[in-house]
A = this chain, B = another copy of it.
Amino acid sequence: MIVTVVEVSVKPEYIDAFIEASKSNHEGSVKEPGNMRFDILQSAVDAAQFVLYEAYESEEASKAHKETAHYKKWKDLVAPMMATPRKGTAHRVICPADRSKW
């Protein structure tokens, strides 16, 4: 398994548009083979800060996400909305080790 945690900082005027675009990306992503979760969170401290929590059963499945039509559409839509470049970090899972919990 691989979980990529992506930190996103959006220009304040694009908050609603980013949420809309990201909901569509979520809907497509959770239907991908190998996707375990694709959560989208908004900071309670600063509404312009988001976290994407992208869990895949393998590195291959994670990479394949970037080849999907919904990802490419999202990437283009949100490009002008970024306040700073996105920062994604890949992680290995310590807990829960049980795959059925994902």
Which A residues have a C-beta under 8 Å from some C-beta of B?
A: 2-3, 5, 19, 22-23, 26, 30, 38-45, 49-51, 53, 89-96
Selected contact of A94 from candidates B42, B94, B95, B96, CB within 8 Å: B42
| Alpha-carbon gap, A39 to B50, bound state (A) | 18
User: Given contacts A5-B51, A44-B2, A53-B53, are A39 and B89 in contact (CB under 8 A)?
Assistant: no
User: Given contacts A5-B51, A51-B5, A53-B53, are A45 and B90 in contact (CB under 8 A)?
Assistant: yes
Residues of chain B with a CB closer than 8 A to A93's CB: 39-41
Q: Is A22 in contact with B94, judged by CB distance below 8 angstroms?
A: yes
Please give 20 more A-B residue pairs, beta carbons under 8 A apart, in addition to A2-B44, A5-B5, A49-B89.
A3-B39, A3-B41, A5-B51, A19-B94, A22-B95, A23-B94, A23-B95, A26-B94, A26-B95, A26-B96, A39-B93, A39-B96, A40-B93, A41-B92, A43-B89, A43-B91, A44-B89, A44-B92, A51-B91, A53-B53
